[in-house]
Structure 1
């Protein structure tokens, strides 16, 4: 049996220990690259140690000429590790406004949801690491993200009915590469290399090709610094959400239809508090954050609308839904 790094195993054990209950089975999302394959290798060791089952999920996007080769390579890894593998081929709609990366992400998470529900699996492990977290924070900073966005990737997140665990957000990629190299030399299995990782047509490719070399030269600790910044933003986000939660309850919030009192909202001071509770409200409704221009428009209409909403009909569209006001209650309705 291959002996994995205790250092990498420790982070995974720590993540699993924080769950309400140790799951009987976990899945590892494996693309076939260095990071995810190493996570599968380490996870197999940890799963055996904890006496729980582990499976591999592989999503074949069909976007690369070698997509089927990558899939076969992941099947080979599963055979070496003696674990079950479940592959799902997906269609990526490239006509969506989200671009190839965003569209592929949507298709991938949909596939994870279907695979998980079919097998009764609640937790999926993802191999994002310190470098990925730093890149995420940098890109969101460049896009003007707010506090919630600057949190970056969370150690534990939920999408639909599935929980995603990222145990290596504090682990440098170099340590993962060393582990993978050791495994490859011993087992003669080698990870695939995704050419889009450093393709300047994609935002992360631009960061890796042009920004990272400069940052590494002049600010060698920037990845750890950005990761630490994300943790600070996580704490700030929790504090702001706690304030917004209390404010929402003071606004005669209805937990059934998620509506609130327009008059009570107007009583909040200062303006930043009114704006933040709107952001929190959108988040609670499972909607993406509106742009600043859209948020300003919603704020403006709520501010000047008659207290009972009779003088004109408010109807602002956002993320496939409408923000409406009727008889002094503000609510969201699907388009």
Structure 2
């Protein structure tokens, strides 16, 4: 193993600073102990992190072995014991996936506690080949087939702390030779030979068969991964630029985009943008399959789509009557987009100066004499004859069968629901839209149209001005 080459890789590809702390994931096996020894030997400030999955009878022995090695080398150690079986069962993960999630959660917690510049893990060249084949068999796209990178972020575990993999070009044989040369005693995980695990079947069954066809299959997989990584980077940069063109609004739990601009993009960019946003909203990639993304693209391209398309549990794509698409989580703060009434009923009095509808919206109430106010066509403002109204008002969402006579239509009534349709108000917005009622009648569809009832006339002595305001 060339230490000069490793030093350059740590600096140039992993972007590590020897003066800043690094948490190293240490299982006790040859790969992780080799990495810990290398970083310590090269002068990096390291903290070992060991996660005991409590899945094997020898797990306790591995923990003690890691403790002893760190004591001998003078390296600080953090240990966490996790209940993988319960977590996997309750979350419907395989044991492999459950262990991976809990392991990274714990290691990232160690890294955050030590203000570490990175979490270093010991994936090596053989792991890279196995990972690429696993992703290929699972139907991954380019982002999966590119394999693991020297430095990357996993938003599911941390947005700020990168994961670095300094040994990606080092083979398992080289690692074991390094351990022998430096008298590093490591643990053997007996489950590595059990073919009930997917990765182990790839390692012990599939790769030997492929090597019969091409003895250099591992090298060629590595080269393919490098090519795909570079092309994936190029496409990702193009997707980031395209996202800015189609994105109209981003808020807590949602993306609002221009349907027209989105559909003008190449299908490659459409697929990547939708997938990226779905991952960002869910915080993980699990279940965001090809078929799920294609279902979203199909919905976006329909001329008369249904109003809401469930994509995954708690993740939806909606289309209004207009030209926008809304990708959102079930807990999204959609009140950031439209006038939104948080309460099922909100009473207020004429003397109140303001009323808060939700965290984003407020109605301001003012009284003027004729001549003190200038009328305009702002739909966010409504003016009424204050003396034609009682002191009591109520704000409520629209109710089935609600009707009103819109101002300027000579008293002709229409359903509030039909008015929403004419104004292209998305179905999602209607259920919380604030409707002002007075004396049991619809007085104002807030922000859209006031009723003919209690309109200002030449005989009006006091004018009630209501202004719908976005307060953040």
Other-structure match for 1:15: 10
- Rounded to whole Å, the distance in 1 between the matches of 2:80 and 2:8 is 28
CA contact (8 A) 1:126 1:165 kept: yes
**Greater RCO, CA 8 A, separation 6+:** 1
Aligned length: 317
Other-structure match for 2:257: 260
1:169 aligns with 2:184: no
Other-structure match for 2:109: 114
Shift of 1:296: 2.3
Other-structure match for 1:317: 311
Other-structure match for 1:210: 205
Other-structure match for 1:34: 30
**Deviations along 1:167-222, whole A, 9 cap, x unmatched?**
111111111110111222xxxx5211112212110111112221222333442211
1:219 aligns with 2:214: yes
**Does the C-alpha gap of structure 1 residues 158 and 334 become closer, same or farther in structure 2, counting only changes over 3 Å?**
farther
Other-structure match for 2:145: 150
Other structure's SS at 2:152 match: strand
**Deviations along 1:216-251, whole A, 9 cap, x unmatched?**
344221111101111111011112112222222221
CA contact (8 A) 1:325 1:331 kept: no
1:58 aligns with 2:57: no
Other-structure match for 1:70: 62
- Rounded to whole Å, the distance in 2 between the matches of 1:27 and 1:330 is 40
From the two aligned structures, give the one with the greater helix fraction. Answer: 1
**Does the C-alpha gap of structure 1 residues 8 and 218 become closer, same or farther in structure 2, counting only changes over 3 Å?**
farther
Q: 1:242 aligns with which of 237, 240, 250?
A: 237
Shift of 1:293: 2.1
CA contact (8 A) 1:262 1:330 kept: no
**Does the C-alpha gap of structure 1 residues 170 and 301 become closer, same or farther in structure 2, counting only changes over 3 Å?**
same
1:133 aligns with 2:128: yes
- Rounded to whole Å, the distance in 2 between the matches of 1:26 and 1:167 is 12
1:82 aligns with 2:74: yes
From the two aligned structures, give the one with the greater strand fraction. Answer: 2
Shift of 1:53: 2.0
1:280 aligns with 2:279: no
- Rounded to whole Å, the distance in 2 between the matches of 1:334 and 1:156 is 33
Shift of 1:58: 0.5
Shift of 1:122: 2.9
Q: Cα RMSD between the aligned structures?
A: 2.3
Moved more, 216-225 or 166-175: 216-225
- For the pair shown, the structure with the greater C-alpha radius of gyration is 2
Other structure's SS at 1:190 match: coil
**Does the C-alpha gap of structure 1 residues 252 and 322 become closer, same or farther in structure 2, counting only changes over 3 Å?**
closer
CA contact (8 A) 2:23 2:119 kept: yes
1:91 aligns with 2:83: yes
Shift of 1:8: 4.4
Q: Which runs of 5+ in 1 are unaligned?
A: none
Moved more, 121-130 or 30-39: 121-130
**Deviations along 1:267-301, whole A, 9 cap, x unmatched?**
224x4443333223334544427222222221222
CA contact (8 A) 1:58 1:74 kept: yes
Other-structure match for 1:181: 180
Other-structure match for 2:440: none
Q: TM-score with structure 1 length normalisation?
A: 0.87
- Rounded to whole Å, the distance in 2 between the matches of 1:265 and 1:156 is 31
- Rounded to whole Å, the distance in 1 between the matches of 2:314 and 2:168 is 33
Q: Which runs of 5+ in 2 are unaligned?
A: 332-472
